[in-house]
Amino acid sequence: MKKYLVIILATALSTGCYSQTDKTISMDSSAKNNPAYSKTDSNRVNLTEQEWKKILSPEVYQVARQKGTERPWSSKYEDLREVGTYYCAACGNALFKSDTKFESGCGWPSFYEPISKSAIIYTPDNTYGMNRTEVQCGRCKSHLGHVFDDGPPPTGLRYCINGVVLDFEKAKEAEKKYNQEQKKG
């Protein structure tokens, strides 16, 4: 029995489908009390961990700053099919367009390409005895998830992202805001 449990655990870990927490994740990533949050500012964000802890919800902080992982299939974005843009919930940096999202079956929102080269930072991750590539937000260095080489064309990559560290804005809402800003300016 122990042998089968070890095999199941090793398989789950190697596919990136594992959880470090058993609690349900709240998806409220409101930026109301977060001075670092901006969908237009591209300057790097350098806050202390104490500052991050004050402005992020406990769920976002645990994943974004402590490199945690939400439970698989717990994200409201896992099955979302709306057209729009996914942003970093910690700082507002644009990360992925919805047309690069695909169903991977791993339990987390998956994308095959970031919105830009500077949107993501890649770092080696050898935790749990695995050789993986961690992806972090290019603006605030928050942990987002991992990238694997088993994705669909055209890139062959699968960015397996924790939904709790994502915000989403529908394309129609973004266009409406843009038009309102143009009228003001």
In a domain, 16, yes or no: no
More confident of the two residues 28 and 145: 145
3-class secondary structure per residue, 64-126: HCCCCCCCCCCCCCCCCCCCEEEEECCCCCEEEEHHHEECCCCCCCEECCCCCHHHEEEEEEC
The pLDDT of residue 24 is above 80? no
pLDDT digits (tens, 9 = 90+) for 108-156: 999 999 999 999 999 999 998 999 999 999 999 999 999 999 999 999 9
Residue 25 to residue 34: CA distance in whole angstroms: 19
Nearest to 36 by CA among 59, 52, 58: 52
* Residue 5 confidence class, pLDDT cut points 50, 70, 90: very low
| Domain of residue 117, residue span | 47-184
* Residue 15 confidence class, pLDDT cut points 50, 70, 90: very low
In a domain, 28, yes or no: no
- The residue from 88, 91, 140, 160 that is catalytic is 160
The CATH number of whichever domain residue 179 belongs to comes to 2.170.150.20
Active site residue 88: no
In a domain, 36, yes or no: no
Placement of tokens 């609690």 in the chain: 23
